[in-house]
Amino acid sequence: MNRKYRKALIAGNWKMNMTSSAVKPFVEGLRAALPKAKSCDIAICAPFPLIPALARAVKDVSRIGIGAQDVCEFKSGAYTGDVSCDMLTDLGVKYVIVGHSERRAYHGEDDFKVNAKLRAAIDAGMTAIVCVGESAEQRERGLTMEHISYQVAAAVCGLTDEQAKRCVIAYEPLWAIGTGAVATADQAQEVCAQIRAVIKRRIGAKTARAISILYGGSMNMKNAASLLAMPDIDGGLIGGASLKPDDFAAIIAATAQEQHNG
Provide the minimum distance between the beta carbon of 239 and ligand PGA in the complex, in angstroms, as a whole number: 2
The alpha-carbon radius of gyration of the chain (Å, integer) is 17
- Residue in 100, 109, 134, 258 annotated catalytic: 100
Cβ closest to ligand PGA, residue 67 vs residue 88: 67
Strand 95-98 to strand 64-68: parallel, antiparallel, or no bridges (unpaired)? parallel
Q: How far is Cα 190 from Cα 168, in angstroms, rounded to an integer?
A: 17
Provide the minimum distance between the beta carbon of 24 and ligand PGA in the complex, in angstroms, as a whole number: 23
Bridge partners for 68 per DSSP: 46, 96
Cβ closest to ligand PGA, residue 25 vs residue 178: 178
User: Helix or strand or coil: residue 203?
Assistant: coil
Q: Which residues bind ligand PGA (CB under 6 A)?
A: 13, 172, 177-178, 216-219, 237-241
Cβ closest to ligand PGA, residue 199 vs residue 251: 251
Provide the minimum distance between the beta carbon of 70 and ligand PGA in the complex, in angstroms, as a whole number: 12
Q: What per-residue string of b and e applies to 35-53 under the rule 16 or more CB within 10 Å gives b?
A: eeeebbbbbbbbbeebbeb
- Residue 206 to residues 46, 144, 200, 202, 203: CA-CA distances in angstroms? 32, 25, 8, 11, 9
Question: Taken in order 45, 186, 244, 19, is the CA torsion positive or negative?
Answer: positive
- Residue 154 to residues 112, 123, 130, 148, 195: CA-CA distances in angstroms? 7, 17, 11, 10, 12
Cβ closest to ligand PGA, residue 208 vs residue 240: 240
How many C-beta atoms lie closer than 10 Å to residue 68's C-beta? 26
Q: How far is Cα 221 from Cα 162, in angstroms, rounded to an integer?
A: 34
Q: Which residue is nearest to ligand PGA (CB)?
A: 239
Does the annotation mark 147 as catalytic?
no
Cβ closest to ligand PGA, residue 208 vs residue 237: 237
Q: How far is Cα 118 from Cα 242, in angstroms, rounded to an integer?
A: 23
Cβ closest to ligand PGA, residue 93 vs residue 173: 173
Provide the minimum distance between the beta carbon of 11 and ligand PGA in the complex, in angstroms, as a whole number: 8
- Residue in 109, 134, 172, 258 annotated catalytic: 172
Provide the minimum distance between the beta carbon of 16 and ligand PGA in the complex, in angstroms, as a whole number: 12
Say which amino acid occupies 227.
L
For the chain, how far is it from start to end, CA to CA, in angstroms?
9
Provide the minimum distance between the beta carbon of 103 and ligand PGA in the complex, in angstroms, as a whole number: 10
Catalytic residues: 100, 172
